Amino acid sequence: MPLKYQSYGCRFKCGHKHSSNYWLIFRHEEQCWYNPEVKSCITCRHGELVHDSCTSFCGYEITERWEYRTCDVDPDIEFDGIKPQINCINWEEICHAN
């Protein structure tokens, strides 16, 4: 008879690894970038993760791809790679209406 294990996962479905430790996931959720209360770029209507690429031909084709974040409200934000800002004063909920 197989053993039954119970595990917890982030309710914001960020892809965070599941754990059998309830409090580990609970504390994660409080800081999860997908938690609207954290006010990160990921849940903000002004934030965007841009996928960019550049193809060059120097004898053979080379395609470079990279991602970066932008903010419609404050273009001066210097992002640390693709890490979103959190607790942003310009944060606004993503509007799901048409």
State in angstroms the smallest separation of the CB of 57 from Zn ion: 42
Q: Which of 8, 9, 16, 24 binds Zn ion (CB under 5 A)?
A: 16
Joined together, the tokens standing for residue 14 give 């960020």
Which residue is listed with tokens 């982030």?
Answer: 10
Count of residues engaged in binding Zn ion, rule: CB under 5 A: 5
State in angstroms the smallest separation of the CB of 21 from Zn ion: 14
Q: Which of 8, 9, 14, 73 binds Zn ion (CB under 5 A)?
A: 14
Q: Any contact of residue 9 with Zn ion (CB under 5 A)?
A: no
**Closer residue to Zn ion in complex, CB, 22/66:** 22
Q: Any contact of residue 10 with Zn ion (CB under 5 A)?
A: yes
Give CA separation, 82 vs 5, 11, 26, in Å: 35, 22, 24
Question: Is residue 37 a contact partner of residue 23, using CB atoms and an 8 Å limit?
Answer: no
How far apart, in whole angstroms, are the C-alpha atoms of residue 68 and residue 84?
A: 10
**Closer residue to Zn ion in complex, CB, 33/73:** 33
Q: Which residues contact 46 (CB under 8 A, 6 or more apart)?
A: 71, 72, 73, 90, 91, 92
* Contact residues: Zn ion, CB under 5 A: 10, 12, 14, 16, 32
